[in-house]
């Protein structure tokens, strides 16, 4: 089992943001990256919204980064830990530029980059970016095909619905082959996209108790699409306690599990094909206290699960 954690302070998403995170400066971000790596996390992740839909701002806030810029910063501040966009809104990025950015980062970081993509939410941000919201699924499918071609072919050729690529060269490709692309999202369409194109699936609304039905569905889709390797999953060890509207669920707050119970849950997740997980949210009053609590509480859990 491998463990991921969000970089604090780069988003101000209310359910996961403490007051001190809003005051972080460049040295704090650097110290946070190095501290999370020292504690033993396997990846540091960043989600994004390039421009924010006002329909969701009350629940999610409007302070969100460009994920690629953020994970490049993290990679430069660390030596071992992997960096991941979780998630990057794929239809809002041109696939050639994104493929070059991620392959460049993979080379410069020594093969530590990952990419988790999704479709995003709300129509206003798509309109602002000049991208048809009602075609975002088809765009994502074609963009993934283009990126995976560019990552493996120095003289790529592609003819699709949206893009034509010919008489060009593309280098460097990423160090990792195949490059670890994951698909986020909670729908059956997202799961199908993950089975078709991805190394794994990272939903936000699937929990341990409901995972078996999705594992069965992934296996069914794998047979249908001719997938030869089992799909990996990234599932939180303990639910974050958010509803589909991204607000805290008053009827189902995050459970308070002991470390032994968390280790037991992670073991059950592993039996169902989960290879990445996140540990429960820890609240603190400062970055120093946050890193200390992570080391005290999450360090032993990660060590035991490995």
What distances in angstroms separate CA 139 from CA 102, 135, 211, 251, one per listed residue? 19, 6, 28, 37
Q: What is the pLDDT of residues 114-133, one digit of tens each?
A: 999 999 988 999 999 999 99
Q: What is the pLDDT of residues 3-42, one digit of tens each?
A: 999 999 999 999 899 999 999 999 999 999 999 999 999 9
How far apart CA 306 and CA 304 sit, in angstroms, is: 5
- State the total domains in the chain: 1
Expressed as residue numbers, the domain containing 88 is: 2-231
> Rounded mean pLDDT of the chain?
95
What distances in angstroms separate CA 36 from CA 44, 58, 77, 213, one per listed residue? 8, 30, 11, 33
Tokens of 130: 């000049």
- The CATH number of residue 64's host domain is 3.20.20.30
Phi, psi of 33 (to 5 degrees): -60, -50
CA angle at residue 94 from 190 to 196, to 5 degrees?
30
Structural domain includes residue 287: no
Structural domain includes residue 179: yes
Structural domain includes residue 111: yes
Structural domain includes residue 237: no
pLDDT of residue 154 exceeding 90: yes
The answer to whether 99 touches 170, Cβ cutoff 8 Å, is yes
How far apart CA 11 and CA 8 sit, in angstroms, is: 7
- Give the contacts of 233 (CB within 8 A, at least 6 positions apart): 200, 201, 202, 206, 211, 214, 215, 218, 269, 272, 273, 274, 275, 276
Q: What is the pLDDT of residues 133-142, one digit of tens each?
A: 999 999 999 9
pLDDT of residue 66: 98
Q: What is the pLDDT of residues 207-265, one digit of tens each?
A: 999 999 999 999 999 999 999 999 999 999 998 777 766 777 666 656 688 999 999 99
pLDDT of residue 254: 62
Q: What pTM value is reported for the model?
A: 0.95
Structural domain includes residue 14: yes
pLDDT of residue 256: 82
The answer to whether 273 touches 230, Cβ cutoff 8 Å, is yes
How far apart CA 113 and CA 72 sit, in angstroms, is: 9
pLDDT of residue 186: 93
Kindly state the average pLDDT of the residues 161-183: 98
Structural domain includes residue 31: yes
What distances in angstroms separate CA 49 from CA 56, 156, 261, one per listed residue? 11, 30, 34
Q: Express as a percent the part of the chain with pLDDT over 90.
A: 90
């Amino acid at each position: 089992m491998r463990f991921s954690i969000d970089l604090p302070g780069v988003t101000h998403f209310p359910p996961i943001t403490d007051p001190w995170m809003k005051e972080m400066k460049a040295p704090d971000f650097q110290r946070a990256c190095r501290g999370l790596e020292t504690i033993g996390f396997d990846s540091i992740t960043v989600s994004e919204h390039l421009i924010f839909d006002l329909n969701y701002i009350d629940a999610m806030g409007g302070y969100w980064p460009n994920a690629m810029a953020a994970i490049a910063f993290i990679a430069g501040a660390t030596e071992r830990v992997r960096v991941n966009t979780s998630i990057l809104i794929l239809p809002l990025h041109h696939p050639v530029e994104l493929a070059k950015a991620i392959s460049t980062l993979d080379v410069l970081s020594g093969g530590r980059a990952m990419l988790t993509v999704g479709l995003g939410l709300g129509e206003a941000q798509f309109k602002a970016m000049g991208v048809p919201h009602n075609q975002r699924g088809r765009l994502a499918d074609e963009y993934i095909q283009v990126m995976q071609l560019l990552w493996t072919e120095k003289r790529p050729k592609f003819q699709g619905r949206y893009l034509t690529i010919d008489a060009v060269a593309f280098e460097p490709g990423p160090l990792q082959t195949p490059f670890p692309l994951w698909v986020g999202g909670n729908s059956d369409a997202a799961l199908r996209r993950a089975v078709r194109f991805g190394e794994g699936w990272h939903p936000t609304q699937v929990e341990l108790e409901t995972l078996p039905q999705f594992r069965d569905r992934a296996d069914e889709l794998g047979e249908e699409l001719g997938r030869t390797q089992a799909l990996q999953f990234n599932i939180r060890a303990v639910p974050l306690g958010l509803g589909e509207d991204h607000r805290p669920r008053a009827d189902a707050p995050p459970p308070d599990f002991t470390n032994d119970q968390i280790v037991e849950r992670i073991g059950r997740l592993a039996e169902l094909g989960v290879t990445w997980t996140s540990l429960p949210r820890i609240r603190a009053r400062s970055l120093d206290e946050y890193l200390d609590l992570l080391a005290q509480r999450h360090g032993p859990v990660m060590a035991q699960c490995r």
